[in-house]
Amino acid sequence: MKPERVKKVKLKSVNNVIFIYFCLLSALLLLLVDLVFYVVVTNILEGQVSDRVVSAGADIAMQLKHSPYDEVDKALFDRYEKDGLHVFLFTTEGEIVETESIISQSDVNDLISRISSASENRVLYSDNGFMNFATRVNYGSNEGVLLVSYPLEVVHNTIGAMQLYLLAISAVVLVIAFIISYNFSQKLTRGLKTMSDKAVCLAHGDYSIDFADADYKEMAQLSDSLNFVRDEVKKSEDFRREILANVTHDLKTPLTMIKAYASMVKEISGDDPEKRDKHLQVIIDETDRLTGLVNDVLNVSKVNSNIGEINLKVFNLTEFLYSIINKFGYLQNSGYSLMIDIDGNLYTRADEEKIGQVIYNLLGNAVNYTGEDKTVYISLKSSLDGSRIRLSVRDTGKGISKEDLPNIWDRYYRSEENHVRPVKGTGLGLSIVKAILQKHSFDFGVDSEQGKGSCFWVDFPAVSSIPDEP
Ligand code: ADP
């Protein structure tokens, strides 16, 4: 089953959006190219026609000027007519003197008015589909007006033909753009769709899914993020399974013991106070073990969720450490000794309750794993520059092997070796310590040598004794 969107907003498909925009852009670009082409080519061609009529006009005017006769040489006009130009010679009043072409009276009137109002004795203008150049001339002893015209139709035909070609090319380019944009959008969304399908499989618990195959950088980044999510989900799923298996296993033993000893009290030792006390003590110890286990599991989930937010405040670390050590006082009855070297009145800023859990766990472990001499060394010392306070908890036990060292901070990790355990342990203690100290960004670690013991340490920031304002 696919997840449904909660809010049913009508969303556009990436596919369509890319396709439409790409096509629009291509069409717009082609239109722009066509327009620029039209303007540029028209200007160039019209410029060439203008040059042609002007140079022909100047040429003819020059030859007329140097003619010794009043009669005009017809052959001169013919030469230009053959080149497609129309040449006219008028008197200054507008009467035709010489031409091979036809002109309407209204055009002649227009010409005469233009040349008489022209500032220089010449004028260039386009009219009725012709490019015209008119200039005053002298022929023999007479004065007149010369007009050279060229039909712009030729230019327009050329532009029209070119536009037709351009249109055909544009249509082909547009079709190619359609095909490319369609394929591209399909390819892009295919990748997204594959990822979405894989994400659904992941949601259904298939952790073998690999989001690796991506065609583009951004998609590859998305794949990496999804692979990361997959690994994290898998880790937490593994942890959920592992913790369930371990906790149920750990719950079984004390529960069996409690049941067995309760039955013994009921059936056998009820009347014998000595035996009964012994059996009841086992029940009490096992109940404590259960409580410890449940608390640790609760703490792990608290530390790993937002409920585990840290609540910083300034407190007296020296006094706080003493109060915890006092709770371990009962161990003296079993021959344990706690050797302390603690500087007075050291203050730090941290979450007091959570730091309590850290110290409790470290002390508990040291007691659990210390050697035959049953001694644990606790020190709290200010650094030379006074900026840090180091708490060290050292035992004289077997130490931790190099292979185990990196793993001891993992949830539910326990080294294979058996230890005498006067304080209950669940394999969760150090993972809680690690999570709390990481949340505080405090430095911590362990130095351990096999056969000599281990020393767990934490560096707290030292602060002045002035407590935080409420
Ligand atoms: P546990 O409840 O098993 O003590 P922890 O998370 O506190 O769980 O510790 C994890 C493991 O690290 C222990 O099982 C033990 O193997 C090792 N360990 C912790 N503290 C010490 C120590 N002081 N000396 C030797 N090994 C230790």
Measuring from atom 4 of ligand 1, which residue has the nearest CA?
A: 425
Residue 23 vs residue 383, higher pLDDT: 383
Q: How far are the Cα atoms of 37, 64, 83, 131, 180 from residue 97, in angstroms, in the given order?
A: 42, 13, 21, 21, 66
| Cα distance between residue 116 and residue 142, in whole Å | 17
User: How many angstroms separate the alpha carbon of residue 430 from the centre of ligand 1?
Assistant: 7
Using one digit for the tens of pLDDT, what is the confidence trace for 155-182?
Answer: 889 888 988 998 899 889 889 988 888 8
Residue 383 vs residue 245, higher pLDDT: 383
pLDDT in the model for residue 353: 85
| Cα distance between residue 341 and residue 344, in whole Å | 10
The angle at the Cα of 112, spanning 122 to 104, to the nearest 5 degrees, equals 120
User: How many angstroms separate the alpha carbon of residue 408 from the centre of ligand 1?
Assistant: 6
Average pLDDT over residues 212-224: 83
Tell me if 453 CB under 6 Å of ligand 1. Answer: no
User: How many angstroms separate the alpha carbon of residue 99 from the centre of ligand 1?
Assistant: 119
pLDDT in the model for residue 374: 92
User: How many angstroms separate the alpha carbon of residue 425 from the centre of ligand 1?
Assistant: 8
| Cα distance between residue 247 and residue 289, in whole Å | 12
pLDDT in the model for residue 306: 46
pLDDT in the model for residue 307: 45
**How many of the other CB atoms lie within 10 Å of CB of 233?**
14
Q: Which residues contact 220 (CB under 8 A, 6 or more apart)?
A: 214
- The answer to whether residues 354 and 317 touch, using CB atoms and an 8 Å cutoff, is no
Average pLDDT over residues 58-67: 85
342, with CB counted inside 10 A (0-12, 13-18, 19+), is middle
Which of 105-119, 246-260, 277-291, 379-393 has the highest average model confidence (pLDDT)? 379-393
Residue 393 vs residue 407, higher pLDDT: 393
Best probe residue, ligand 1, of 295, 369, 407 (max atoms within 8 Å of C-beta): 369
- The answer to whether residues 404 and 414 touch, using CB atoms and an 8 Å cutoff, is no
> 262 is written with which tokens?
């309760």
How is residue 387 annotated by DSSP?
S
Measuring from atom 21 of ligand 1, which residue has the nearest CA?
A: 365
Judged against a pLDDT cut of 50, whether residue 249 lies above it is answered with yes
pLDDT in the model for residue 448: 93
Start-to-end Cα distance in the chain = 52
| Cα distance between residue 144 and residue 268, in whole Å | 151
pLDDT in the model for residue 9: 67
Q: Report pTM.
A: 0.50
- The answer to whether residues 123 and 110 touch, using CB atoms and an 8 Å cutoff, is no
User: How many angstroms separate the alpha carbon of residue 451 from the centre of ligand 1?
Assistant: 15
Judged against a pLDDT cut of 90, whether residue 409 lies above it is answered with no
pLDDT in the model for residue 418: 46
pLDDT in the model for residue 318: 96
> 17 is written with which tokens?
């959006």
Judged against a pLDDT cut of 50, whether residue 414 lies above it is answered with yes
Tell me if 265 CB under 6 Å of ligand 1. Answer: no
Residue 322: phi, psi to the nearest 5?
-60, -45
